[in-house]
Amino acid sequence: MPVYARRRLQAMLDDLAPLLTVEKAKDLLARLEHKNVKDALAAEVELSLLWSIQQVADLQIDPVLADSSARPDALTQTLFPRGPALIEITAVSDDAFSGRESMNRAAEIIGHFCNGHRKRSASHLYYRFMEGRERIEGQMRRVRRISKDFELTPAFEEKLKAWVSDPDWPNPPSLRLTDEQIDVVIEWRKLVHPEGRVFSSMPPVPDHLEDNPVYRTLRTKERQLSKSEPGLLRCIFIGDAGCSMLRDLTPLGGYQVSGEQVIHHFLRRSKVDLVCVFSPYRNWGIFMAPGSNTPKWRVTLFEREPRTDKGAEYDRLNRMVLGLPQPQLEGYQARSWHRQGLFNPQGKGIYLGTNISWKGGGTNVSISISSRMILELLAGRITQEQFQHFAFRGQSDNFFEQQLKSGLTIQAARLDKGGLDEDDDTLVFEFEPDWGAKPLRNPKT
């Protein structure tokens, strides 16, 4: 699910406040601010879709049903003309399916051991996990060669210690560890980003209609709707929080099971009436105008019993989708940015860009720059070198210095608000020639 600016999230919370119990508000807030990426993005899916339903239809959040143990996410009487509907909202990512958790766990164990024998050596280690094939339920399946219970054996410890302790390390530049728990090639690299230190040749794509995160999530949500009263539509809204199966529901190539096939398979075996997939996407093309590939919503509806007259049936659903604020990122990008801590309100900000314009034959200059960046510079949170890099895209020229050197000083300044969809504003500085910053002129010349 795309990340919205924190300003937008707060506005959604405020709009929903009359419908939230104290406990529900506290729960949503705790999950939105959670360090766990899965929890944070799932909460954002829930908040944004509840908010969008409330814009076009009546809404009860966490309604109490006849069976008091059943608390679906939403009940609406008017979103669908054919009757009231119970809605469960969820989000799916590739994390568990990609083996990333197991790979990162193994990388942490190996890196910690290596640091004990050569300081900061783990920061240079890149891990390539191999794949194999196993017979599972009578079918040959691709498997990632890493166990979720991996531990270093004495033989591995001896091998790693000899490698990182060698005076000529990294020579050789790679080392392979393999047994029944793991098969990984560990490479030394000058620069390794923490978010990109693990890789597997086996992509997070399914080869089974039921052994995949989308099907398992739908089954879980179906159980939460199983106690619903007769006459209520049962609906599942599912968001792409970095899930390749939802990002591309019908991929090219026949070797993998598609998200579309999985959802149809689920509905044929389910009492759920419809599944609605929300995924951000970009249009990519060679001849696209600048800015035309900003993320947009792709919403796909799947029905257990397809209806012919969908115009009136889904009018409000269409209006709900159109009313959703545009996504800032695609799902996989949002997941990566969250992991890097880029949405920590007290971390380094996500800055608006710097723009410079000239008028009056170049004597009048306007510089528009991130107000958050300037605040962090004044607060001592970033250095002058970092400011130069962020503000001027790594260029050696400091444009403020250029104006002062040319005898121009700030004659006016204003704040341009970034709005709800940006967590930053811009400070606009107007420069004009100033005799206080340039040599005096001979008036007779």
Domain assignment of residue 30, yes or no: yes
The pairs formed by 79-83 with CB atoms below 8 angstroms and a separation of 24 or more are 79/53, 79/316, 79/317, 79/320, 80/233, 80/313, 80/314, 80/316, 80/317, 81/312, 81/313, 81/315, 81/316, 82/233, 82/313, 83/231, 83/232, 83/233
Q: Are 382 and 373 in contact (CB under 8 A)?
A: yes
Domain assignment of residue 273, yes or no: yes
Contacts of 421 (CB under 8 A, 6+ apart): 4, 5, 7, 8, 325, 326, 328
Please state the φ and ψ torsions of residue 358, each to the nearest 5 degrees.
Answer: -125, 150
Domain assignment of residue 346, yes or no: no
77-117 tens-digit pLDDT: 999 988 899 999 999 988 767 788 899 999 999 999 999 99
349-392 tens-digit pLDDT: 789 999 999 887 778 899 999 999 999 999 999 999 899 988 98
Domain assignment of residue 73, yes or no: yes
pTM, to two decimals:
0.82
The SS3 assignment for 76 reads: strand
Round to whole Å and give the CA distance between 184 and 176. 6
Mean pLDDT over 219-238 rounds to: 90
Q: Are residues 138 and 45 located together in one domain of the fold?
A: no
Number of CB atoms found within 10 A of residue 175's CB: 20
Q: Are residues 278 and 163 located together in one domain of the fold?
A: no
Q: Are residues 81 and 217 located together in one domain of the fold?
A: yes
Q: Are residues 213 and 300 located together in one domain of the fold?
A: yes
Q: Are 92 and 238 in contact (CB under 8 A)?
A: yes
Round to whole Å and give the CA distance between 425 and 13. 21
Domain assignment of residue 219, yes or no: yes
Q: Are residues 81 and 129 located together in one domain of the fold?
A: no
Q: Are residues 288 and 214 located together in one domain of the fold?
A: yes
Domain boundary among 339, 365, 391: 339
Q: Are residues 214 and 316 located together in one domain of the fold?
A: yes
Domain boundary among 200, 233, 257: 200
Q: Are residues 362 and 431 located together in one domain of the fold?
A: yes
Round to whole Å and give the CA distance between 240 and 2. 8
The single-letter code of the amino acid at 193 is: H
Q: Are residues 374 and 386 located together in one domain of the fold?
A: yes
Q: How many domains is the chain built from?
A: 3
Closest CA to 420 of 104, 48, 71, 145: 48
What is the DSSP code string of 345-369?
TTS---PPPPEEEEETTTTEEEEEE
Q: Are 131 and 202 in contact (CB under 8 A)?
A: yes
Closest CA to 373 of 411, 418, 334: 418
Q: Residue 233: beta bridge partners?
A: 85
Domain boundary among 181, 200, 219: 200
pLDDT at residue number 196? 83
Domain assignment of residue 444, yes or no: no
State the residue range of the domain holding 85. Answer: 6-96+207-339
Domain assignment of residue 345, yes or no: no
Mean pLDDT over 209-226 rounds to: 91
Token pair listed for 35: 């360090």
Q: Are 91 and 1 in contact (CB under 8 A)?
A: yes
Identify the band that residue 1 occupies on the pLDDT scale cut at 50, 70 and 90: very low
248-306 tens-digit pLDDT: 888 766 557 889 999 999 999 999 999 999 998 887 655 555 555 788 888 999 999 88
The SS3 assignment for 313 reads: helix
Domain assignment of residue 349, yes or no: no
Number of CB atoms found within 10 A of residue 356's CB: 14
Q: Are residues 25 and 11 located together in one domain of the fold?
A: yes
Contacts of 311 (CB under 8 A, 6+ apart): none
Q: Are residues 291 and 316 located together in one domain of the fold?
A: yes
Q: Are residues 184 and 216 located together in one domain of the fold?
A: no
11-49 tens-digit pLDDT: 999 999 999 999 999 999 999 988 888 888 889 999 999
